[in-house]
């Protein structure tokens, strides 16, 4: 479900709620969601560790601990919801992580793709996939660096490249389609054919789309909810994603094709190849 804006909204929401909390004994309902160490070791090692900050790199959430860190990736349908008290999520609960004060952090995940890693130190991050990420598109890539990066990959096509987390980290299917629409670039466009101005336009489109996504509290197209279980609002502002047949401002119908194995929405009039 979540791309960079959704993970960032969760991070910002959880940060004040989890500040200085100490984990108690967790309940693991689906061991496969615990990627490292074993579920048994995870149960044994988590209690007593105190939270000292929340970070994010790409789509990974990093819960910093006094000893090590708890890394979370939500993949398609993962949810991380904090509750002071009250009933756990009714469906697809995979892990319940209580704190010493009785409050709870719930991880639920319909499709079971998401995962949690308990690391003893940041040196173990390679266990998670974090080590393979390119620079975070929101925090670490300015306009100049984006152009340098693009110029290094001229044989690629735009959408597959932007989705590649080794190239830049954080963009997913929704925000790539919206960014390409906003910059009037075709998803299959060869990077080698882009002018300097087009690269700059794409960069600004990505920035503004991510900012707006975060400002709206994320996109709840299907499953996404924030740290308090509330839906985002950006789904109401999507120009093309999920809107096959809807008329663009130019009067042309939004088209759906498959690119990089993903459903891809664009305006064939505004986004010529």
Partner DNA sequence: GCTTACCTGTCG
Partner DNA sequence: CGACAGGTAAGC
- Which residue, 24 or 260, is less far from DNA as judged by CB? 260
Q: Is 261 exposed, middle or buried (0-12, 13-18, 19+ CB in 10 A)?
A: exposed
Q: From the CB of residue 221, how many other CB atoms can be counted at a distance below 10 Å? A: 16
Q: Which stretch binds DNA (CB under 7 A): 15-23, 33-41, 72-80, 136-144?
A: 72-80
Q: Which stretch binds DNA (CB under 7 A): 17-25, 33-41, 43-51, 171-179?
A: 171-179
Among 223, 240, 254, 270, binds DNA (CB under 7 A): 223
* Binding flag, residue 263, DNA (CB under 7 A): yes
Q: Whole-number minimum distance, CB 118 to DNA, in Å?
A: 17
* DSSP code, position 51: E
* Binding flag, residue 34, DNA (CB under 7 A): no
Interhelix angle for 196-215 vs 143-151, to 10°? 120
* Binding flag, residue 29, DNA (CB under 7 A): no
Among 165, 179, 183, 239, binds DNA (CB under 7 A): 165
Here the tokens at position 218 are: 């994320």
Q: Whole-number minimum distance, CB 92 to DNA, in Å?
A: 6
* Binding flag, residue 201, DNA (CB under 7 A): no
Q: Is 37 exposed, middle or buried (0-12, 13-18, 19+ CB in 10 A)?
A: middle
- Which residue, 17 or 29, is less far from DNA as judged by CB? 29
Number of residues that bind DNA (CB under 7 A): 44
Interhelix angle for 196-215 vs 173-182, to 10°? 130
Among 1, 61, 206, 248, binds DNA (CB under 7 A): 1
**Catalytic sites, residue numbers:** 2-3, 59, 262
Which parts of this chain interact with DNA (CB under 7 A)? 1-3, 6, 32, 58-59, 73, 75-77, 91-92, 110-113, 129, 132, 155-157, 160-161, 163, 165, 172-174, 218-224, 232, 235, 242, 259-263
């Amino acid at each position: 479900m979540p791309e960079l804006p959704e993970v960032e909204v969760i991070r910002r929401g959880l940060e004040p709620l989890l500040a200085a909390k100490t984990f108690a004994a967790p309940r693991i309902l689906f061991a496969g969601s615990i990627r490292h160490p074993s579920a048994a070791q995870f149960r044994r090692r988590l209690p007593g560790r105190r939270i000292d900050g929340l970070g994010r790199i790409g789509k990974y959430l990093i819960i910093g601990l006094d000893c090590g860190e708890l890394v979370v990736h939500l993949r398609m349908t993962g949810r991380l919801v904090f509750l002071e008290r009250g009933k756990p999520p009714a469906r697809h609960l995979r892990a319940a992580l209580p704190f010493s004060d009785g409050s709870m952090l719930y991880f639920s995940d319909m499709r079971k793709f998401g995962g949690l890693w308990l690391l003893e130190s940041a040196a173990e991050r390679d266990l998670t996939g974090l080590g393979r990420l390119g620079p975070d598109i929101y925090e670490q890539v300015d306009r100049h660096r984006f152009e340098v990066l693009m110029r290094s990959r001229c044989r690629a096509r735009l959408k597959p490249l932007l989705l590649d987390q080794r190239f830049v980290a954080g963009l997913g299917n929704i925000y790539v389609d919206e960014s390409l629409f906003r910059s009037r670039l075709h998803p299959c466009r060869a990077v080698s054919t882009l002018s300097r101005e087009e690269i700059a336009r794409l960069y600004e489109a990505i920035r503004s789309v991510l900012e707006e996504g975060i400002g709206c509290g994320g996109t709840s197209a299907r499953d996404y909810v924030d740290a308090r279980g509330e839906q985002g609002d950006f789904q109401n502002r999507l120009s093309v994603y999920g809107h096959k047949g809807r008329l663009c401002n130019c009067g042309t119908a939004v088209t759906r094709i498959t690119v990089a194995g993903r459903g891809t929405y664009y305006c064939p009039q505004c986004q010529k190849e």
